Amino acid sequence: IMSTFETIRKFRYPQAATTSLALHPQVDNIIAIGMNDSSILIFDIYYRKILKKLMGHYKRITGLAFSYVLNVLVSFGADNQILVWSSDGWERQNGKFLQIPTGREPGVPSDASILFHQDQLHFLVQHGTQLAIYETMELECVKQWFPGESFAPISHATFSCDGQLVFATFLDGTVGIFGASNLYLQRLINPAAYLPFISSCWYDVYPLVIAAHPQEPSQFSVGLSNGEVVVFEPLESEGKWGLSLTFENGSTSSMPTASQVALSSSSNCRVD
């Protein structure tokens, strides 16, 4: 436990609650603050001053991410809208709504998040209904993956540290490993491989967040609703997450059944 640290600044905006944060990657005194009133505050930490209030969303902000290559801020809201803002003058440059097919809204609330790829030109959108990779400036959806009917909603997702894989968690405890270039589902980890028990209610214990190791591309950790954290990596004999299951991207006819999900269990991954 860290016992010594310095609090640089404290800031409170009384009109709304903070729902998302992003630090400027090049200007260390600038922070973007997403609010539950749908606004985005560009705040100067040193001078304790709001530089700009960005308006464009209609519901709370659920995701913010900067690209230091393109000099833009990308925001996502509970209105399913993606907006691109210039980080020079904070002007809106583009906007588009996330493509959600009819009937694919998640059965439980699921806030979306966004994360830039290593190339800083594309970003990943994780939504309860899908994973999607967008080209930033034109907001072209390059790849999109929709869970089949046998899947629970997606709870969180992230890139591996080398940008080659996407790790995703589902609210029934399943963990999916995808190729980042095509969002092909390569492997599924059965909840029985790491959860202490499988109850009749899948939402008793479920993954809330997933994080990739900063140096080991095959290692990631999952935070559970009961407070536990589980670390995953492939067995030493495999070395990396090899191809276990392959399905056509976004095709419901190729989605795995519960028996197929069981193919990837504790026998081919190590859980710490």
The pLDDT averaged over each successive group of 10 residues in the chain (272 residues) is: 69 81 93 96 92 96 97 96 96 93 59 92 95 97 90 93 95 93 92 71 78 95 92 79 48 37 42 63
Residue 22 in tokens: 């992003």
Residues 6+ apart with CB under 8 A from 192: 198, 262, 265, 266
The predicted structure's pLDDT at residue 272: 63
Q: Is 213 exposed, middle or buried (0-12, 13-18, 19+ CB in 10 A)?
A: middle
Nearest CA to 98 out of 71, 122, 129 is that of 129
Q: What three-state secondary structure class fits 186?
A: strand
The predicted structure's pLDDT at residue 197: 61
Query: How many whole angstroms separate alpha carbon 174 and alpha carbon 162?
Result: 23
Nearest CA to 266 out of 206, 189, 152 is that of 189
The predicted structure's pLDDT at residue 242: 62
The predicted structure's pLDDT at residue 60: 94
Query: How many whole angstroms separate alpha carbon 225 and alpha carbon 205?
Result: 6
The predicted structure's pLDDT at residue 157: 97
Q: What three-state secondary structure class fits 155?
A: strand
Strands (E), the chain: 18-23, 30-35, 40-44, 49-54, 61-67, 72-77, 81-86, 92-97, 113-116, 122-127, 130-135, 140-145, 154-159, 165-170, 175-179, 185-189, 207-212, 220-224, 229-233, 270-271
The CATH architecture of the domain made up of 64-271 is 7 Propeller (2.130)
* pTM across the whole model: 0.83
